[in-house]
Amino acid sequence: MGFSIEFRPAVLKSLQHLPKRDLVRIRNRIDDLATHLPDPAITKMKGENSFHKIRSGDYRIIYEIHDDRLVILVVKVGHRKDVYKKLP
């Protein structure tokens, strides 16, 4: 049973400004999350937060896993140089 994917409104807005080639790669990676969730112990970010991350080229996808509702909430997508700044 797969997870459903939800996006924060800011993520949808930031995806509009990405290059088409990178956008296709990121979209495929997010779709793959719904069916093949990577090991949460490996993708968990350090610190006192509930965020996980995966790589897509030079971009990073930051997300939260809500097991009780079977939802993956994509929190932020951005270039690796500045995606970790100002996390919600």
DSSP secondary structure of 33-50: HHHSPPPHHHHBPSSSS-
Here the contacts of 40-44 (C-beta below 8 Å, separation 24 or greater) are 40/65
Q: Note the pLDDT of residue 87.
A: 83
**Topology of the domain comprising 4-79:** YaeB-like fold (3.30.2310)
What is the C-alpha separation between 64 and 72, in angstroms, rounded?
6
Q: 35-74 pLDDT, tens per residue? A: 898 999 999 999 999 999 999 999 999 999 998 999 999 9
Q: What CA–CA distance (Å, rounded) separates 68 from 85?
A: 28
Contact 50, 87 (CB under 8 A): no
pLDDT for 86 equals 84
pLDDT value for 88: 75
